[in-house]
Amino acid sequence: MVIRPGNPPQLRMREGTIGYCPPETDVGFKTDVYSFGVLLLELVTGQTAYEVNRAPGRELAKWVCAHLESQSSSEASL
């Protein structure tokens, strides 16, 4: 939020669909690439981009990252 004397506060809202927005706040080409990656993950996994009951994260990209990390740590212990 930006507050300047004599001007009303300006709020900047993030736009986009939950699950398809990257963690960064900048909108541009990288946002499109991230959204396309989420779409590919949906096709490969058969999961939706955002699910309320999913753990540890509700977004598919975070869920896949957590799953891959736990899988690689279990392989490292073998």
Q: What is the pTM of this model?
A: 0.62
Domain definitions of the chain by residue range: 29-76
pLDDT at 69 over 60: yes
Query: Per residue in 8-54, pLDDT tens?
Result: 666 565 566 777 777 776 667 778 888 899 899 999 989 888 877 76
Query: Per residue in 51-65, pLDDT tens?
Result: 777 665 678 888 888
- Residue 44 is encoded by which pair of tokens? 């490969």
**Sign of the C-alpha dihedral, residues 15, 57, 36, 26?**
positive
Hey, which residues does 2 pair with through a beta bridge? 10
